[in-house]
Amino acid sequence: MEAVEIQAQPLAALVELLEPERAGRFLAAAEHGRGALAGRVVWNVNSTASGGGVAEMLQTMLAYARGAEVDTRWLVLKGDPTFFEITKAIHNALHGSLVDRERFGPQDRAHYERVMQANLEQLQGLVRAGDFVLLHDPQTAGLGAGLRQLGAHVVWRCHIGRDDTNESTERGWQFLREYVLAAEAFVFSRASYVPDWVPRERAVVIQPSIDPYSTKNRPMDDRQTKRVLLEVGLVRNRLEPDGIHFHRRAGHEGVLRRHVDLVTNAPPPVTAPLVVQVSRWDRLKDMTGVLTGFADHVAPHLPDAHLLLAGPEVRGVTDDPEGAVVYAECRAVWEAMPAQVRSRCHLATLPMDDVDENAFIVNALQRHATVVVQKSLAEGFGLTLTEALWKARPVVASAVGGIRDQVTDGTEGFLLDDPADLAHFGARVVELLRDPGLRTSMGGRGQARVHRDFLGDRQLIQWVELLMSLVA
């Protein structure tokens, strides 16, 4: 297993953003948790240190937990390509996608359990009786029984799900059921994600949150935003910025590297209206649908608008074996476009070898976007949308999963009841691109909603309450 370094983040920074009563509740919970959890380690185990919402959230939440003087640690399990193919299939199944009929049989189960046993043997030398172990998503579910035998309190945190069930979800849950039930408590992002066989008294809903002071979300003015994107080659202009610095989680500064190969073609002009989607290269994010929707229903109406789809460098996310395939599918759709439209659509693969630099680039890209879209076919929660709302960006997003908990149609942005309706998608994007007043008002309401519901104090309080209930 790989240990991920956690840099403590003082609670005072977050407290400054909160109303006095809310700040008081937060500090009281932190003090209570510090005392109740003293002498115990809170372990978090997941499948990757970077790439995707789970790693993003752990980076920030664990930093604040350390700031509250809670002994929290983060481990990334080890798995081979076959293991991650199995767990990716489980991920897709729990979102309702069709999965190969040969999946989840005895061979898959035996391989999954071998990987679990190898990782459990490493945990046995680290975890003590009375510690807490928070297992994240299907990749870790099979560790629960062995950890309970060590005397640890085990919580399984599921970040994915679907509001209704179909044959695929049933198959995915059937594979996981015996592993999941070994946990002492279960945490989901929505109540509708909880399978009917999970004891309701042991299930808790805790929605994700963002850190407004992380590298991805900390304030950045318009001038710096443009300089960053020019430096890394995501927009173009005559300017030649150099020597841009950014804040790292460890507290020191990094220097932004100049990149020359992030986009598939000449980048959009810095002054062009820009539609942006940031996500993994995952079929459930429907990047090809965004490309087609923009080409057919936005580009003909707004000749100066551009689209940029940004995802991770395809070798940079260890637990997602489909990323390179999906990127290739998007690239094929892009290459088949007429040259005039293709020149206004851009695929960007962002570097993953420096997590803080990646976050800094995404911060600038989201702030520079005229409209942010998230046209997912399924979504556990959608933290990239939360980040865009915090930056006061108007959004067009699918009415699926946790997106519906963040956006009310017509208030913070527009929701798409049918993500496959590309004409409706295009019409909503065009409406926002043509109306700066609407963009401003929606963006302001989106930022206010994130401030109210999706900052880290609420999530940390809920976790303290849950962990203390297990030792009461």
* Distance between start and end Cα atoms, the chain: 31
What percentage of the chain has pLDDT greater than the value 90?
85
Neighbours of 450 (CB within 10 A): 23
- Mean pLDDT estimate for the chain: 94
Q: Compute the distance between CA of residue 28 and CA of residue 25 in angstroms, rounded to an integer.
A: 5
- What is the DSSP pairing of strand 42-46 with strand 72-76? parallel
Domains and CATH numbers, the chain: 2-209+455-471 (3.40.50.2000), 222-453 (3.40.50.2000)
Q: Please check the confidence at residue 243 and state whether its pLDDT lies above 70.
A: no
Going from the C-alpha of 333 to that of each of 232, 293, 349, 398, 407, the distances in angstroms are 25, 12, 16, 21, 30
Q: What is the rounded CA–CA span in Å between residue 252 and residue 247?
A: 6
Question: CA quadruple 262, 263, 265, 267: dihedral positive or negative?
Answer: negative
132-157 tens-digit pLDDT: 999 999 999 999 999 999 999 999 99
pLDDT tens per residue across span 153-206? 999 999 999 999 999 999 999 999 999 999 999 999 999 999 999 999 999 999
**H/E element holding 4?**
strand 2-4
pLDDT of residue 318: 66
pTM (2 d.p.): 0.91
